[in-house]
Amino acid sequence: MTRKKSALSALAILILCILLSVMVISLFNIEGAVNRLILPVILFVLSYTAIYINTLTNRTTAHHINKQLDILAGGNFFKTISTDNKNSFWGIEDKINSVLYQVRKLIARTSRSTETTNNMADELYRQMEDININIENIYSSVNKSLHDITQQFSIAQSVLSKMEELSSESENTSYELHQFKDIHNELKKQVDASRKNMDSFVTQVVSINQQEDEKIKKFNQLTEQASSIHQIVDRVVNIATQTNLLALNAAIEAARAGEAGKGFAVVADEIRKLAIQSSEASEEIRDVLQVIIENINTASTFAYGSKENMSLIQADIEKTSQDIDGISTVFNKIDKLISNITTIVQLQSAAAKEVAVSTESLTNILSNSSDIAENNQNCIKEIKAKAGFLINSTETLKNESSTLNNILAELVREGQNVSDEIKVEIHSSMDELKKLAKNKEVLSMNQVKIEDYLSKYIETNKGKFSLIYVLNRDGIQIINDIWSSKEDAERYQSSLGVSYKERDYFEKTRNGNDYISKLNISSQTYNMVISLCTPIFNDDREFIGVMCASSRIEQ
């Protein structure tokens, strides 16, 4: 196609030369022999000149393109061929750049896909190894299961026999428990009757004890009354003694009176006799009262002893009654236990019968399981062989993916090699970013002010940065993404509020250092991009945030 266009260009120049020759002849009125001589010469000169100019132009353009292609031949597909309108060869540079864009696009997409495939291959290989180990374990387990099933079949038959024996023994135990319960109920009735008798006896003892208390009170009263009588007798004796003295004095006075006092002497003598008799009677009464008091004291002492004995008897009876109550409680517990044991034995008997039925079914199942286990063993052998094949295939995929990943990484590394001019451009961009970080609108750390200022800046400085954003001192993005391209702004969601605290570049800039990343291929534009970050300090040199930007590198 290029050669065809070159030939057409030469033909057009030749036709132009012929037309110019005709015009020269017409202008100078060249005729006759001269016309026939000069015209071929003019045509030849003009044609040769036209062909030479066309060839020279093609060679110059080809040399320019070859020079650019030599760079691409080194593997750097991130280079863009510059377009020189003077030496442009029918727009071939633009077509080559378009091809390079598609190559970069292919590298970016393939790199991501290859990295994912490589990771998936690694994970798949690990999973297949785990699966193979699990298959080995399953194979061993199946072999063991087959052996265990055989043993379990024998055990199940033995259990079936034992369950039948247990069911029979449970029925016998249930019958014996019923008999024991009848005996227990009879004993319980006797204990209840004894407890009632003891309660009646306790009531009688309490009544007797109360009667003894009454007797003791009566004896105490008699003792007090006897003491009172004794005191009265003592007074009577005193009176008799005094009366005797008075009678004696009266007799003495009567004797002094002589004949006139004889009658009075007789009366005094009688009074003395009565006094003596009263004294003697009082002594007898005192002796009798003493005997009565002694008898009362003896009876009272006996009553006290009887009361103490009855109290001891009452305490013993009450203790015996409590023991009987305890026995009754124990019998109630035994009654509950017998009921529970009877229920358990009945359930045990029913369970034993069910287990016997289930065990019989189990023997049939185990017999079938043995056949199934043998089939599983054969299936697992086949799965094991296929798993080995998959492991080998996965390992091959892993190796091929790793190789492709290395090739793509090498292509990306070629694009990361930048010229000195680009390095100067990168440092110039960093200097520009530092100036932006010192602006008063940025130092205000106000979202509206910063967004308004950076939007105006990026409108007037298109191409310098493709993206600008600002983080606060905590690593949180405080403004919306400021894109130089409206398409990018509409395509990508804003990162406002996202935390970058754990990112390496934030840690570095927080310590007062600038950050320049390595060249990386953009997954959006398929060009090489570089990230720049610089710390933001206020007037007091306090760290208040970070300004970040991304810039496309055109090589």
Q: Quick: pLDDT tens for 497-533.
A: 999 999 888 999 999 999 988 776 665 555 667 889 9
At 465, which helix (H) or strand (E)?
Answer: none
Average pLDDT, the chain: 71
Among 350, 374, 409, identify where a domain stops.
Answer: 350
Q: Please, which residues have CB within 8 angstroms of residue 299's CB and are 6 or more apart in sequence?
A: 215, 219
Tell me, what's the pLDDT at 220?
Answer: 74
Q: Averaged over 453-467, what is the pLDDT? A: 85
Tokens in use for 176? 């014996």
State whether 334 and 466 are in the same domain: no
Residue 189 lies in a domain: yes
pTM for the structure as a whole: 0.37
Q: Which two tokens stand for residue 186?
A: 């009879």
Instruction: Flag whether pLDDT at 542 surpasses 90.
Output: yes
**109 to 113, 245, 391, 408, 526: CA distances (angstroms):** 6, 159, 27, 10, 9
Sequence-separated (6 or more) residues with CB below 8 Å from residue 171: 349
d(CA 83, CA 89): 10
In terms of DSSP bridges, do strands 482-483 and 543-553 run parallel, antiparallel, or are they unpaired? Answer: unpaired
Between 3-12, 230-239, 427-436, the lowest mean confidence (pLDDT) is in 3-12
List the CATH number of the domain containing 508: 3.30.450.20
DSSP helix/strand/coil, 198: helix
In terms of domains, do 342 and 488 share one? no
Q: 350, 382, 399: which is the final residue of a domain? A: 350
Q: Residue 386's pLDDT is what?
A: 72
Mean pLDDT (whole number) for 397-414:
58
**Do 346 and 424 lie in a common domain?**
no
The reply to whether 181 falls in a domain is yes
Q: Name residue 528's beta-bridge partners.
A: 521, 553
The answer to whether residues 315 and 429 belong to one domain is no
374 assigned to some structural domain: no
Q: List the beta bridge partners of residue 499.
A: 476
pLDDT digits (tens, 9 = 90+) for 166-204: 667 666 776 666 776 677 677 667 767 766 766 776 677
- The crossing angle, in degrees rounded to 10, of helices 2-28 and 32-73 is 150
Whether the Cβ atoms of residue 547 and residue 433 lie closer than 8 Å to each other = yes
Distance separating alpha carbons of residues 435 and 454, to the nearest angstrom: 12
| Single-letter amino acid code for the residue at 359 | T
**pLDDT top residue among 411 and 323:** 323
How far is Cα 152 from Cα 158, in angstroms, rounded to an integer? 10
The 10s digit of each residue's pLDDT in 342-393 is: 777 667 667 666 766 766 676 677 667 667 767 776 777 777 677 677 667 7
* pLDDT attached to residue 32: 46
Question: What are the DSSP calls for 92-106, one per residue?
Answer: HHHHHHHHHHHHHHH
Give domain status of residue 27, yes or no. Answer: yes
25-35 burial: b if 16+ Cβ within 10 Å, else e:
beeeebeeeee
Q: d(Cα 267, Cα 248) in Å, to the nearest integer?
A: 11
The reported pLDDT for the residue numbered 455 is 92
329 occurs within a structural domain: yes
176 lies in the same domain as 294:
yes
Domain CATH code at residue 251: 1.10.287.950
Find tokens 């990771």 and name the residue.
119
Amino acid at residue number 317: I
Taking only the tens place, the pLDDT of each residue in 96-126 is 666 655 565 555 556 555 666 666 767 766 7
- % of the chain exceeding 70 in pLDDT: 47
pLDDT of residue 343: 74
241 and 337 part of one domain: yes
Q: Please check whether residues 183 and 68 belong to one and the same domain.
A: no
Backbone Cα Rg of the chain: 68
In this prediction, residue 548 carries a pLDDT of 94
Contact 532, 551 (CB under 8 A): yes
Which residues on adjacent β-strands are paired with residue 471?
477, 546
Statement to judge: residues 229 and 331 lie in one domain? yes
- What digits encode the pLDDT tens for the residues 467-491? 999 999 999 999 999 998 888 888 8
Among 69-78, 238-247, 442-451, the range of highest mean pLDDT: 442-451
Same domain? For 191 and 272 the reply is yes
Let me know if residue 393 belongs to a domain: no
C-beta of residue 398 within 8 angstroms of C-beta of residue 121: yes
**Mean per-residue pLDDT for 10-26?**
57
pLDDT value, residue 99:
60
Same domain, 194 and 281: yes
Q: Report the pLDDT averaged over residues 277-290.
A: 72
Query: Does residue 345 share a domain with residue 422?
Result: no
Do residues 317 and 205 touch, judged by C-beta distance below 8 A?
yes
Other residues' Cβ atoms within 10 Å of the Cβ of residue 81: 20
Give pLDDT, residue 506: 92
- For residue 237, the enclosing domain spans 168-350
Which of 73, 89, 106 finishes a domain? Answer: 73
- SS3 string of 233-270? HHHHHHHHHHHHHHHHHHHHHHHHHHHHHHHHHHHHHH
One domain for residues 308 and 449: no
Domain count for the chain, please give it.
Answer: 3
DSSP letters spanning 118-175: HHHHHHHHHHHHHHHHHHHHHHHHHHHHHHHHHHHHHHHHHHHHHHHHHHHHHHHHHH
pLDDT in the model for residue 489: 83
The answer to whether residue 265 sits within a structural domain is: yes
Q: How far apart are CA 317 and CA 319, in angstroms?
A: 5
For residue 461, being part of any structural domain is answered with: yes
DSSP code of residue 484: S
Task: Decide: 310 and 205 in contact? Cβ < 8 Å.
Answer: yes
